[in-house]
Amino acid sequence: MEGKKKKPFFKRWWFWAIVLIIGIGMLGSNEGDKNKGDKSSEPDKIVVNQDDDKKEDDKKDVEPEEIVYQIGDSFTSGNLGIVVEEVEEKREFKSDNQFIKAVTTEGKFIVITAKLTNNDTKARTFSSMQFKIIDDQDREFDAYTDANLMMILGDKDIFLKECNPGMSRTGVFVFEVPEDIESYSLKVFSGVGFAAKTSEIVKLK
């Protein structure tokens, strides 16, 4: 009796079941690799801490606190050294010369005695335009440069006199202001015009 012929293995059901399982496994593997490839191609995301940026912006917005000097303090504005030694108020400058009239005002004069030092490398002339009085209403007052007053002050007048490097001069300059001013400061500029790159404040009253 002839034995039964065996079916070829590729015609058996279990062969195709194995092939199907392997095929499904390969498809799943390819899909996973594809997803990995897509993720690797994405650019790295940079996390920005907005709180840190805000802190940096806040630091930039904060202005340095202005220093206010007092009478007797020694300080500099650029290459100009200053010490305000004395401040007084008066309404009249009397003259000892019969040919020079007394100088009076409807308001009051603020008379400042100060020591100025030239810290530059060249001789310089101190100018009245380097000084202003500022009151509590933010009004600005220029130095009083009346010709009669300059003659009455004589050598005490500190302006328009040349001062060599490293040398100092002590003298007087005057401001005419309204009578009702009670609180005011002196603003000192390092120079005149475009040369006035810095300024300092001295509280006078």
Which residues, other chains included, contact 47 with Cβ-Cβ below 8 Å and sequence gap of 6+? none
Residue 56 clears pLDDT 80, i.e. is over it: no
The secondary element (H helix, E strand) that includes residue 174 is strand 168-177
Mean pLDDT along residues 25-46? 56
170 vs 55: which has the higher pLDDT: 170
Residue 195 clears pLDDT 80, i.e. is over it: no
188 vs 5: which has the higher pLDDT: 188
Mean pLDDT along residues 35-53? 55
Mean pLDDT along residues 56-81? 82
In terms of DSSP bridges, do strands 80-93 and 184-189 run parallel, antiparallel, or are they unpaired? Answer: unpaired
* pTM assigned to the model: 0.68
- Using CA atoms in the order 62, 68, 73, 76, what is the torsion angle rounded to 10 degrees? 60
39 vs 74: which has the higher pLDDT: 74
Q: What are the extents of the domains in the chain?
A: 11-37, 68-203
Instruction: Tell me the CATH number for domain 68-203.
Output: 2.60.40.1240
Which pLDDT band, with edges at 50, 70 and 90, does 1 fall under?
very low
